[in-house]
Amino acid sequence: MTDTDHPFQDQSPDPTASLPQWVTAAGFGAVALVVGLIGFAISSRFEPSEFAPTPFVAADTTTSTSLAFDGQSSSTTTSAELATTSSSAASPANFEVSSSNVDFGDDGTSAQFDVSNVGGRQGSFTLGASTTAISVSTGSGDLAPSESMTIQLSLDRVEIGEGEIDETISISWEGGQLEVSIVGAHQDNPIIHNPQASPAQIFVSGTTPCGPTTSTISARVRDSSELESVVVRWGGTETAMGPVGNDIFEGVIGPFVNPQTAVARIVATDQFGNAGGATVEVGVAACP
């Protein structure tokens, strides 16, 4: 019995029998390629090649992305977020001054000091003086870390009271405040206005007077502080002058024993020891 006559031989036609040989070979090759790719993908997933190229990262990259496998989410970090994180870690703005005490002395009208930001972030500050007699070059400032600003001060001595200067400059910012003491002295000499003698002509004293032998000296005396004394000095003698209203003070000189042109000197002294003066002349004549 031949193979073709075997009763159990499958008699269905061979589907590849009628195809050219190169087609059949190509089909098997494609299947082998697919199986190979699947195997390579699985192998690469668990055993990354030691010869894999190192990814290039540009110096100015502003966005970094990390991808996770096995169902884990990816994350992206931008340069803005990094800057925000760095800024948040820095200490807040904080300010210092170059001097906590500014001395104008007895007659100074200008001075200065520096404000510096010693914190880790940029910040703003404001300034204010305790009196309008002191002017500052600016009412506010904005400084980066380690940056400084010079503040110019000006003192108007006409507006400030006489005596010791005791004022302040305040510097305030979010989270802090400090003060700069303004010291010195302001002294005003008393001012004497319109000195007069009445009468301006008197006579020597004698056994037979021929006219007035004394003269009343008057003047307006003003000072920014309280007056300690007002006197008139004449011929080696000193006579007190008393107030008579509207800052007017009066005192009497005479009599004189010899004819002369007498000089009456008015001296006013305030509570701080500052003095001002003025003079007026009085004629002393002999009796006819």
Over residues 81-131, the pLDDT tens digits come to 544 445 457 899 999 999 999 999 999 999 999 999 999 999 999 999 999
Please report which confidence band the pLDDT of residue 224 belongs to, taking 50, 70 and 90 as the band edges.
Answer: confident
Cα–Cα distance between 224 and 106 in angstroms, integer?
16
Using left for φ > 0, alpha for ψ between -120 and 50, and beta otherwise, residue 146 falls in left
Look at residue 26 in the predicted model and tell me its pLDDT: 45
Q: Are strands 260-270 and 227-234 parallel, antiparallel or unpaired?
A: antiparallel
pLDDT of residue 33: 44
Cβ neighbours for 69, distance < 8 A, ≥ 6 positions apart? 45
| Mean pLDDT of the 13-26 span | 47
Topology of the domain comprising 95-186:
Immunoglobulin-like (2.60.40)
- Residue ranges of the domains in the chain? 95-186, 191-285
CB atoms within 10 A of CB 93: 22
pLDDT at residue 73 is higher than 80: no
> Taking 50 as the threshold, does the pLDDT of residue 257 lie above it?
yes
Q: Between residues 15 and 88, which one has the greater pLDDT?
A: 88
Residues 285, 254: Cα–Cα separation, whole Å: 12
Is residue 16 pLDDT above 90, yes or no? no
Is the predicted pLDDT of residue 270 greater than 90, yes or no? yes
The CB-side HSE value for 95 (13 A sphere, CA atoms) comes to 31
* pTM of structure: 0.54
pLDDT grade, residue 37 (50/70/90)?
very low
Residues above pLDDT 70, as percent of the chain: 69
* 138, pLDDT greater than 80: yes
Percent of the chain residues past pLDDT 90, beyond the cut: 60
> CB burial class (10 A; 0-12, 13-18, 19+) of residue 287?
middle
Q: Which residue has the higher pLDDT, 32 or 225?
A: 225
pLDDT at 232 over 90: yes
Give the separation between CA 230 and CA 248, rounded to whole angstroms: 10
Q: Which residue has the higher pLDDT, 70 or 218?
A: 218
Region 261-287: what's the mean pLDDT? 95
> Could you tell me which of 137, 117, 118 has the C-alpha nearest to residue 127?
137
Phi, psi of 279 (to 5 degrees): -125, 155
Tell me, what's the pLDDT at 21? Answer: 52
In this structure, what is the dihedral angle of CA atoms 36, 41, 46, 52, given to the nearest 10 degrees? 100
pLDDT, tens digit, for every residue of 183-219?
999 888 999 999 999 999 999 988 777 899 999 999 9
Q: How sure is the predictor about 158, in pLDDT bands with cuts at 50, 70 and 90?
A: confident
Residue range 191-285, CATH number: 2.60.40.10
**Structure tokens that stand for 111 in this block:** 């001075």
Residue whose entry in the numeric block shows the structure tokens 């000193």: 238
SS3 labels along 217-281: EEEEEECCCCEEEEEEEECCEEEECEEEECCEEEEEECCCCCCEEEEEEEEEEECCCCEEEEEEE
**Torsion of Cα atoms, 195 then 201 then 204 then 208, to 10°:** -130
Is it the case that residue 14 has pLDDT exceeding 90?
no
Mean pLDDT of the chain: 80
Parallel, antiparallel, or unpaired: how do β-strands 176-186 and 101-103 relate? parallel
Is the backbone peptide bond immediately before 7 cis, with ω within 30 degrees of 0? no
